Structure 1
Amino acid sequence: MATKAVYISDVPNLDQVPETAASFSLYATRLPIAVDVSKSVDNSPKFTVIGHRGHGMNILHSTDRRMKAFKENSILSFNNAAKHPIDYIEFDVQVTKDDVAIIFHDDFILSQEHVSRDLLGSVVEKRVTDLTMKEFFAYGPQREVSMEGKALARKVNGTVVGWQVESDDHSCTLQEAFEKVNTRLGFNIELKFDDHRVYEEDHLIHALQVVLKVVSEHANDRPIIFSSFQPDAALLMKKLQQKYPVYFLTNGGTEVYDDVRRNSLEEARKLAVGGGLDGIVSEVKGIFGNPSAAREIKESNLGLLTYGKLNNIQETVHVQQLMGVDGVIVDLVEEIARAVEETKTRNGHGGVKSEETEKGLIELSFLLNLISKVIQH
Structure 2
Amino acid sequence: MGKTGPMLLGGHRGMGENLASHDVDGQPLSVYPAYRENTIESFQQAAKCGVGFVEFDVQVTRDNVPIIWHDDDVVFGAADAPQRPMVKDLTLAELQALCGRGGNTSTSTAATASATAAGHGTGAADLPSSDSHFQQPHVLRGTSEDGSVVSTPRGGSDDGSGSMVDDCGATGGRPHSKLLRLFRDRSTRQAGTRYEPWACAADDSIPTLEAVFRAMPPEIGFDIEIKMTTGDDVVHTPAEEVDRMLSAILPVVDRLAGPQPPQDHFIDGPLLQPHPYRNAPASAAATASAAAAAAAAAAAAAAQQQQQPEQQQQPPMGRRIMFSSFDPDVCVELRRRQSRYPVYYLSGCGLYTHADARRTSIPAALSFAVEAGMRGVVMPASVLLKNMDTVASAGASRLELMTYGLENNDLGALQAQADAGVVAAIVDEVAGVTAALGGGGAVMGHGEEAADRV
Normalised to the residue count of structure 2, the TM-score between the two structures is 0.63
Residue 200 of structure 2 aligns with an amino acid whose one-letter code is V
Matches within 5 A, 1:1-377: 44-61=4-21, 67-113=32-78, 122-140=81-99, 141-142=101-102, 144=104, 148-156=175-183, 157-196=192-231, 198=234, 199-220=237-258, 221-340=318-437, 341=440, 344=444, 349=449
Identity %: 31
Q: Is the 1:79–1:182 Cα contact (8 Å) retained in structure 2?
A: no
CA distance in 1, matches of 2:445, 2:349: 32
Residue range with higher mean Cα deviation, 211-220 or 56-65: 56-65
Instruction: Identify if the C-alpha distance between structure 1 residues 225 and 149 changes in structure 2 by more than 3 Å, giving closer, same or farther.
Output: farther
Aligned to 1:369: none
Deviation at 1:87, TM superposition (A): 0.8
Instruction: Identify if the C-alpha distance between structure 1 residues 181 and 66 changes in structure 2 by more than 3 Å, giving closer, same or farther.
Output: farther
Aligned to 1:10: none
**Secondary structure of the equivalent of 2:384?**
helix
Q: Is the 2:402–2:425 Cα contact (8 Å) retained in structure 1?
A: yes
After superposition, give the CA deviation of every residue in 1:99-127 in whole Å (9 maximum; x if it has no partner): 000000000110015xxxxxx77311111
Instruction: Identify if the C-alpha distance between structure 1 residues 143 and 213 changes in structure 2 by more than 3 Å, giving closer, same or farther.
Output: farther
Deviation at 1:269, TM superposition (A): 0.6
Residue 138 of structure 1 aligns with an amino acid whose one-letter code is A
Residue 134 of structure 1 aligns with an amino acid whose one-letter code is A
**Secondary structure of the equivalent of 2:377?**
strand
Deviation at 1:45, TM superposition (A): 1.6
Aligned to 1:7: none
Deviation at 1:300, TM superposition (A): 0.9
Q: Is the 2:378–2:401 Cα contact (8 Å) retained in structure 1?
A: yes
Residue 123 of structure 1 aligns with an amino acid whose one-letter code is P
After superposition, give the CA deviation of every residue in 1:214-257 in whole Å (9 maximum; x if it has no partner): 10111112111100001100111011100001001111222221
Deviation at 1:206, TM superposition (A): 2.6
**Secondary structure of the equivalent of 2:32?**
helix
CA distance in 2, matches of 1:192, 1:203: 11
Q: State the structure with bigger RCO (CA 8 A, min sep 6), 1 or 2.
A: 2
Deviation at 1:210, TM superposition (A): 0.8
Instruction: Identify if the C-alpha distance between structure 1 residues 148 and 300 changes in structure 2 by more than 3 Å, giving closer, same or farther.
Output: farther
Residue range with higher mean Cα deviation, 156-165 or 97-106: 156-165
Q: What is the RMSD computed on CA atoms of the aligned residues?
A: 2.6
CA distance in 1, matches of 2:103, 2:253: 24
Instruction: Identify if the C-alpha distance between structure 1 residues 318 and 299 changes in structure 2 by more than 3 Å, giving closer, same or farther.
Output: same
Q: Is the 2:2–2:444 Cα contact (8 Å) retained in structure 1?
A: no
Query: Is there any run of 5+ residues in structure 2 with no aligned partner, and where?
Result: 24-28, 105-169, 184-191, 259-317
Residue 149 of structure 1 aligns with an amino acid whose one-letter code is H
**Secondary structure of the equivalent of 1:48?**
strand
CA distance in 2, matches of 1:69, 1:347: 37
Q: Is the 1:57–1:331 Cα contact (8 Å) retained in structure 2?
A: yes
Deviation at 1:336, TM superposition (A): 2.0
Q: Is the 1:74–1:169 Cα contact (8 Å) retained in structure 2?
A: yes
Residue 76 of structure 1 aligns with an amino acid whose one-letter code is E
Deviation at 1:90, TM superposition (A): 0.2
